[in-house]
């Protein structure tokens, strides 16, 4: 009987501190088990990568093609799988012996695309888990996020930070420190300091997203990286500000103070709004949530928001007002 390896990686929401993870900052992020990417791998005569629904090359009309490109860009997830395999083999060279049995691999994902919930890195994480299992390779947990990031940054030229990869590897609720003093090199990769927190503290957290307003994360991060590398004072100071908010957010979570956490999350978005020109429809999501009485900030690069709500009445108000602009409101399964 053919043995199938099935590995999943889940969506995530950045609670506070983002986008400072790529700029020596600090962040807190939570896993969102409502959505996932799954990779299936099994022994095969050749190394075969099977396209998924995200690698669509057949359309009902030219207008459908244009709409698909506008929402998802020119590339599906197959490039992510291929790049992960290449980087995995290179990383294992001279470290771990790999057997010579070939395999077929396919993936699927129900993570909303390009709304800042880390759908791309989820495919990479799930692929890495399948490869590690198939080749019986054990890579230390705190090294795996850096290997995943290298797939995107080195192989695909995608600007990103470690936050998404850390939470998808560790899962649960994680406080991350990427300050220079916290970083260490292991197995040739730069790793931060990661602390697991108690996810049950997040009993009044909501997430809202709209797939019609998403955009690739690199659109946001490439501009910010350029400004940071130019040492624009406003951007450099903001990154320290994001890190300070994450430190304060950690204390709020340890004390079970969700009101304090919500206020800090609001400050996180306001600071981001000061240094970045954000899409109006993304900002409107935050404004509507705040008008309903909840806190709100981007869960990632835009298209999804996360915040603290007070009670069932407020949750219903959020569902109503955000539903008017095509948003779906969910309670994250941590």
How far apart are the C-alpha atoms of 13 and 34, rounded to whole Å?
11
2: Cβ contacts below 8 Å, ≥ 6 apart: 42, 43
Give which of 98, 105, 95 is closest to 143, Cα–Cα. 95
For every residue of 274-306, DSSP letters joined together read HHS---HHHHHHHHHHHHTT---EESSSSSEEE
Instruction: Please tell me which residue in 46, 68, 133, 164 is annotated as part of the active site.
Output: 164
Q: Report the SS3 class of residue 198.
A: coil
Bridge partner residues of 193 (DSSP)? 177
Give which of 143, 128, 123, 243 is closest to 189, Cα–Cα. 143
Bridge partner residues of 186 (DSSP)? 189
Give which of 248, 240, 324, 258 is closest to 294, Cα–Cα. 258
DSSP state of 74: S
Given a contact cutoff of 8 angstroms between Cβ atoms, the answer to whether 102 and 43 are in contact is yes
100 a catalytic residue: no
Given a contact cutoff of 8 angstroms between Cβ atoms, the answer to whether 77 and 54 are in contact is yes
Burial of 313 (0-12, 13-18, 19+ CB in 10 A): exposed
Which residues have a catalytic role annotated?
A: 164
């Amino acid at each position: 009987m053919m043995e199938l390896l099935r590995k999943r990686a889940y969506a995530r929401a950045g609670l506070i501190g983002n986008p400072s993870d790529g700029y020596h900052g600090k962040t807190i992020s939570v896993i969102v088990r409502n959505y996932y990417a799954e990779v299936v791998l099994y022994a095969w005569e050749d190394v075969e990568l099977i396209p998924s629904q995200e690698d669509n090359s057949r359309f009902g009309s030219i207008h459908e093609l244009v709409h698909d490109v506008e929402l998802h860009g020119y590339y599906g997830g197959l490039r992510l799988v291929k790049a992960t395999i290449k980087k995995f083999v290179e990383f294992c060279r001279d470290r771990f012996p790999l057997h010579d049995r070939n395999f077929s691999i396919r993936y699927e994902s129900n993570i909303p695309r390009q709304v800042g919930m880390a759908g791309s890195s989820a495919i990479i994480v799930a692929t890495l888990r399948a490869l590690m299992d198939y080749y019986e390779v054990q890579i230390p947990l705190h090294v795996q996020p850096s290997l995943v990031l290298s797939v995107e940054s080195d192989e695909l030229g995608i600007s990103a930070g470690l936050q998404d990869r850390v939470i998808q590897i560790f899962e649960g609720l994680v406080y991350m420190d990427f300050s220079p003093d916290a970083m260490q090199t292991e197995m040739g990769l730069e790793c931060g300091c990661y602390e697991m927190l108690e996810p049950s503290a997040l009993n009044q957290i909501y997430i809202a997203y709209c797939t019609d307003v998403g955009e690739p994360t690199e659109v946001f991060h490439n501009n910010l990286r350029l400004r940071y590398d130019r040492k624009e004072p406003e951007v450099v100071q903001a990154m320290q500000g994001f890190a300070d908010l994450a430190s304060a957010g950690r204390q709020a979570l340890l004390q079970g103070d969700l009101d304090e956490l919500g206020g800090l999350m609001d400050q996180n978005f306001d600071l981001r709004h000061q240094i970045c020109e954000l899409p109006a429809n993304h900002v409107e999501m935050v404004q509507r949530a705040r008008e309903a009485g909840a806190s709100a900030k981007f869960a990632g690069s835009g298209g999804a928001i996360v915040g603290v709500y007070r009670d069932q009445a407020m949750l219903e108000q959020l569902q109503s007002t955000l539903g008017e602009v095509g948003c779906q409101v969910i309670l994250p399964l941590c």
